[in-house]
Amino acid sequence: MEEPTSTASSLPAAAATDKEGKSAEFHPFSTSTPQIRAFHLAWLSLFSNFVSTFSIPPLIPLIRSDLALTPSDVSAAATASFAGSILSRFAMGPLSHLLGPATASASLSFLTAPAILSAAFVSSPASFLVVRLLVGLSLGNFVANQYWMTSIFSPSVVGLANGVSAGWANTGAAAAQFLMPQIHSLLLSLKLSSSSAWRLSFLIPGIFQLVMAALVLVYGRGRDRALTTESAKLETETASFWGVVVRYGLGDYRGWILGLAYACSFGSELTTDNVVAGYFYDRFGLDLRAAGTIAAAFSLTNFFARPMGGVASDAMGKRFGERGRVWALWAALTAAGGICFALGRAATRAVGIGGGYVRVFRRGSGCLRARVWRRAFRLQEVDGGDSRNDRQRRNHGRRVHSTPVVFRVQIHDTNQHFSHGDRDRRLFSPCHLHLLPSDQQVSLKS
């Protein structure tokens, strides 16, 4: 008679995943499960994109001198980098659905790596601006990163996984701010000219990005086939439904407000990362390495600020409900705005460093919360018995029969339920929309 040890040993692994094969546990310092290995590939890939994008700002004082850049040239190039990251995000959503997040991520990294390598050959303000625009496109991998996390982690832990993945990846800006001046100094010690040194420095982030893209392509595509098959199936079954979802999403003023909050938080962070090294270099007379080290400290706070922002928001949500989350976001954004003014008026190095440090910490809370709330629409077919609405709960559990075709929709993570026009604001539960028979009409009115 066989021993039941093999069955028993498989139970913990089965218990750690939901019915879709998503991990219900998040242990980022372990590599024992394929989900965690994919997590590390995802954040390291996005980390390499941040390294590439922000490898240029700490060397701006040198580039500015060699290319005779004016302040308006530097500002325009930074704006181009920011614009590139926005434009690529619009494209990465559909690409992630079409190809899978891992394939989409690797493809974008391969396509943009030559841009950072070509930074070694810039010779004019125009070419510098084009390089910054193309390198900025790589930050669109943020979309693939977050979609990847939602595909491998269950709803109970996906918020934390999203926050940690994005936060750790964002520290790539800190790595670039710190390492690029050090690499430049190392090359200077090899008797290279300053101009040659900063140009050759861009080989490091370019090669790193290519290596991570290759690793993702080779080891990270296990989930892509299932996701693209599921997306194609849902697209066929619900093609007429997308218009309803998009129309409701674009018409919800709360989504636009949270979008503006995201622009104020993460947008200001990208802007700060673009100028902070030059700010300390010019305003306080620091050398290149010291200015880069201080700039790195700003970005390094993302390692804990984003996850702590999620923890603070969850705590406020448990204590005061959704209103508590809104107040937490408002407090973080208000504090960040105030410290922006303080940082701009800082007359001493210590005040400038301290003000910026706190600002990034507080901004992390608001940025994370805004990003989590602004999740993309996601369709997933579920059984009719899994659906519930507010009328059912008000009647103390009395059965309310639902239509057999039901789709779960995540909208802004407000987790509202739509069923025959009724809406419920209960937290931490999926959102459902019933597709009614042809003789009934779908209602999405508030």
For residue 159, give the H/E element and its range.
Answer: helix 155-170
Average pLDDT over residues 111-128: 96
Asked if residue 198 belongs to a domain, the reply is yes
Burial class of 16 by CB neighbour count within 10 A (0 to 12, 13 to 18, 19+) = middle
In a domain, 426, yes or no: yes
The yes-or-no verdict on residue 438 having pLDDT over 60 is no
DSSP conformation letters of 36-85: HHHHHHHHHHHHHHHHHHTTSGGGHHHHHHHHT--HHHHHHHHHHHHHHH
**Predicted pLDDT of residue 333:** 81
CA distances from 377 to 145, 331, 386 (A): 16, 27, 19
Query: What pLDDT was estimated at residue 410?
Result: 38
pLDDT tens track for 164-196: 898 899 899 999 999 999 999 999 999 999 999
Residue 381: the pLDDT is: 37
**Residue 401 backbone phi and psi in degrees, to 5:** -75, 135
What's the whole-number mean pLDDT along residues 54-60?
Answer: 94
Query: Which residue in the block uniquely carries the two structure tokens 């997306």?
Result: 231
Residue at 144 is within a domain: yes
Residue 212 lies in a domain: yes
Q: Which domain does 139 fall in, by range?
A: 30-237
CB 33 within 8 A of CB 16: yes
Average pLDDT, the chain: 74
Does residue 234 carry a pLDDT above 90?
A: no
d(CA 54, CA 90) in angstroms, rounded, equals 21
Whether residue 101 lies inside any domain: the answer is yes
Query: What distances in angstroms separate CA 292 from CA 102, 274, 361, one per listed residue?
Result: 32, 11, 19
Task: Report which of 311, 322, 324, 309 is spatially closest to residue 413, judged by C-alpha positions.
Answer: 322
Q: Residue 113: what pLDDT?
A: 97
Residue (of 222, 234, 239) closest to 151 by Cα position: 222
Count of domains forming the chain: 2
pLDDT of 70 higher than 90: yes
Domain finish residue from 212, 237, 262: 237
386 assigned to some structural domain: yes
Assess whether pLDDT exceeds 90 at residue 366: no
Q: What is the number of other CB atoms lying within 10 angstroms of the CB of residue 186?
A: 13
Per-residue pLDDT at 426 exceeds 60: no
Domain boundary residue among 237, 255, 279? 237
In this prediction the pTM is 0.70
Average pLDDT over residues 228-254: 60
289 found inside a domain: no
CATH, residue 78: 1.20.1250.20
Take residue 209 and report the two structure tokens written for it: 């990005």
Q: Per mean pLDDT, which of 123-137, 318-332, 344-358 is the most reliable?
A: 123-137
CA distance 365 to 306: 6
Tokens of 247: 């129309």
250 in a structural domain: no
Task: Work out the pLDDT band at 237, boundaries 50, 70, 90.
Answer: very low
Percent of the chain's residues with pLDDT above 90: 33
State yes or no: pLDDT of 384 exceeds 70.
Answer: no
248-307 confidence digits (pLDDT tens):
777 888 778 877 887 777 777 777 788 888 888 888 788 888 888 888 877 777 777 777
Last residue of a domain, one of 195, 211, 237: 237
